[in-house]
Amino acid sequence: MIDDFISFLNRSPTSWHAANEIAVRLTGFTRLSEEEGWRLEKGKGYYLVRDGSAVAAFRLPKKKMRRAVLLATHLDSPSLKLKPIADAGGSGQISQFFTELYGSPLLHTWLDRDLCLAGRVVDKAGQSKLVFLKDHPLIIPSLAPHFDKGNLDKGLQINRQDHLRPIVSLSREKPLGLAQILNEEPIAFDLFLVPLEQAAFLGQQKEMIASARLDNLTSAYAALYGMTASEAQDDALQIALFFDHEEVGSGSYLGAESSFLSQTLDRIAFHEGLSGDDLFSFRSRTWCISADAAHGYHPNFADRFDPKNAPWLGDGVILKTNGQMRYATTATSAAPLIRLCRKKDIPLQTFASRSDIPSGSTVGSIVSAACGVSTVDIGIGMLAMHSIRETISTQDQILLCKLLKEALHDARES
| Contacts by residues 202-208 (CB-CB < 8 Å, ≥ 24 positions apart) | 202/391, 206/394, 207/314, 207/393, 207/394, 207/395, 208/313, 208/391, 208/392, 208/393, 208/394
What mean pLDDT, rounded, does the chain reach? 93
Q: Is residue 90 pLDDT above 70, yes or no?
A: no
Q: Is residue 92 pLDDT above 70, yes or no?
A: no
Beta pairing, strands 200-202 & 374-379: unpaired
Residue at a domain's end among 164, 195, 226: 195
Span of 39-43, 46-50, 119-123, 176-180 with lowest mean pLDDT:
176-180
What is the Cα–Cα distance from 313 to 72, expressed in whole angstroms? 22
Beta-carbon neighbour count of residue 26 at 10 Å? 19
∠ Cα 250 256 258 (to 5°): 95
156 falls in which pLDDT band (50, 70, 90)? confident
170 falls in which pLDDT band (50, 70, 90)? confident
HSE at residue 354, side-chain half, CA atoms within 13 A, is: 10
Average pLDDT, integer, range 147-155: 69
Per the rule left: phi > 0, alpha: psi between -120 and 50, beta: everything else, 183 is left
Q: Is residue 155 pLDDT above 80, yes or no?
A: no
203 belongs to a structural domain: no
200 belongs to a structural domain: no
pLDDT number for residue 414? 41
Residues 125 and 270 in one domain: no
Residues 277 and 392 in one domain: yes
Q: Which DSSP category does 199 fall into? A: P
Average pLDDT, integer, range 235-240: 96
Q: Is residue 136 pLDDT above 60, yes or no?
A: yes
Residue at a domain's end among 132, 166, 195: 195
Q: Sheet containing 208-211: give its strands across.
A: 200-202, 208-211, 390-393, 381-383, 294-295
Residues 230 and 347 in one domain: yes
Average pLDDT, integer, range 74-84: 98
Q: What angle in degrees, to the nearest 10, is found between the helix axes of 214-229 and 15-25?
A: 10
Residues 185 and 112 in one domain: yes
Span of 14-23, 136-145, 277-286 with lowest mean pLDDT:
277-286
Residue at a domain's end among 137, 161, 195: 195
412 falls in which pLDDT band (50, 70, 90)? low
Residues 114 and 219 in one domain: no
pLDDT number for residue 149? 67
Average pLDDT, integer, range 161-181: 86
Would you call the peptide bond into 151 cis, given omega within 30 degrees of 0 as the criterion? no
pLDDT number for residue 153? 64
pLDDT number for residue 130? 97
152 falls in which pLDDT band (50, 70, 90)? low
∠ Cα 299 302 303 (to 5°): 165
pLDDT number for residue 4? 97
81: β partners = 100, 192
- Assess contact for 92 and 167: CB atoms under 8 A: no
Pairwise pLDDT comparison (176 vs 284), residue with the higher score: 284
Average pLDDT, integer, range 22-31: 97
Average pLDDT, integer, range 201-211: 97
CATH of the domain at 103: 2.30.250.10
182 belongs to a structural domain: yes
DSSP state letters, 86-149: EEEE-STT-EEEEEEEES---GGGGTT--EEEEEEEE-TTS-EEEEEEEEEEEB-PPPPGGG-G
Report pLDDT digits (tens) over 360-396.
889 999 999 988 999 999 999 999 999 999 999 999 9
Q: Is residue 410 pLDDT above 70, yes or no?
A: no
Pairwise pLDDT comparison (25 vs 148), residue with the higher score: 25
Q: Provide the residue range defining the domain that includes 353.
A: 2-77+212-413
Residues 105 and 68 in one domain: no
Q: Is residue 250 pLDDT above 80, yes or no?
A: yes
Span of 92-96, 132-136, 148-152, 325-329 with lowest mean pLDDT:
148-152
pLDDT number for residue 147? 83
Residues 219 and 331 in one domain: yes
CATH of the domain at 230: 3.40.630.10
